[in-house]
A and B are shown apart, each in its own frame.
Chain A
Amino acid sequence: SQQGEEDPQALSIQEGENATMNCSYKTSINNLQWYRQNSGRGLVHLILIRSNEREKHSGRLRVTLDTSKKSSSLLITASRAADTASYFCATDDDSGYALNFGKGTSLLVTP
């Protein structure tokens, strides 16, 4: 069952701008992950943030987690055309081993 819900569904920006995507979920989690999917390809893991963490950085990526609001955000700074892809948040399910994915945010970065 899907738990994560990304917002917005689609985002179009120019190179150099920052892109922010949000994810809301419904039940308590152990951690939350963000994945990227390029057109016609499989999902690639970007970053994982644990439930006891509030913020995490990886290169140009910044993820925040607010467990009280059951929400997370993914910020991509200084975006590039190569960042064009769909981005998904994923939360662990009751068993802890499977993941529930949202429907994703489609990001278009134009030169």
Chain B
Amino acid sequence: DAGVIQSPRHEVTEMGQEVTLRCKPISGHDYLFWYRQTMMRGLELLIYFNNNVPIDDSGMPEDRFSAKMPNASFSTLKIQPSEPRDSAVYFCASNRGTAPGETQYFGPGTRLLVL
């Protein structure tokens, strides 16, 4: 299995631009999680999906952030407009969700820099 795939791996953009991050979960995994990692705040859960349906988006910082999962093999996290404080590493993770607190499998992350 290829594992969780994220693209792009690096993104540099200017303030005000739209940024779209992409994730392909492991096949057969029903849960997909988006995290943001910064030095100051550590690893924060932004949103997670079960069977393509958003379950908890309470971690999404602002209306500038939106996430979708149009099908079981693809999810996007969009920031519009982007701001310098959005600079972080964004991780996608997935699992089967067969039991509470199940192991999550992480992608390599997208390193975002907003100038």
Interface residues of chain A, those whose CB is within 8 Å of chain B, are 2, 29-31, 33, 35, 41-45, 48, 88, 91-93, 95-104
Contacts and interface: CB of A to CB of B under 8 A. Distances in A.
Nearest first, the 6 closest Cβ-Cβ pairs linking A and B are: A96-B100, A92-B101, A42-B106, A103-B42, A101-B43, A31-B101
B44 A42 contact: no
19 contacts: A2-B44, A41-B108, A42-B93, A42-B108, A42-B109, A43-B104, A44-B106, A45-B103, A45-B105, A48-B101, A93-B45, A96-B100, A97-B55, A98-B48, A98-B56, A99-B45, A99-B101, A101-B35, A103-B43
A30 B42 CA distance: 22
B107 interface: yes
Contacts of B97: 97
Nearest to A29: B101
Given A45-B105, A95-B100, A104-B42, 18 more contacts: A2-B43, A30-B100, A31-B100, A33-B103, A41-B108, A42-B108, A43-B43, A44-B106, A45-B103, A45-B104, A48-B103, A88-B43, A91-B101, A97-B50, A97-B100, A97-B101, A101-B35, A102-B42
B102 interface: yes
Contacts of B56: 95, 98
Contacts of B43: 2, 43, 88, 101, 103-104
Interface string B36-59: 000000111100101000011000
Is chain B's interface secondary structure helix, strand, loop, or mixed overall? strand
Contact of A43 (B44, B55, B106): B106
Given A42-B91, A88-B43, A104-B42, A96 B101 contact: yes
A92 B100 contact: yes
Contacts of B106: 35, 42-44
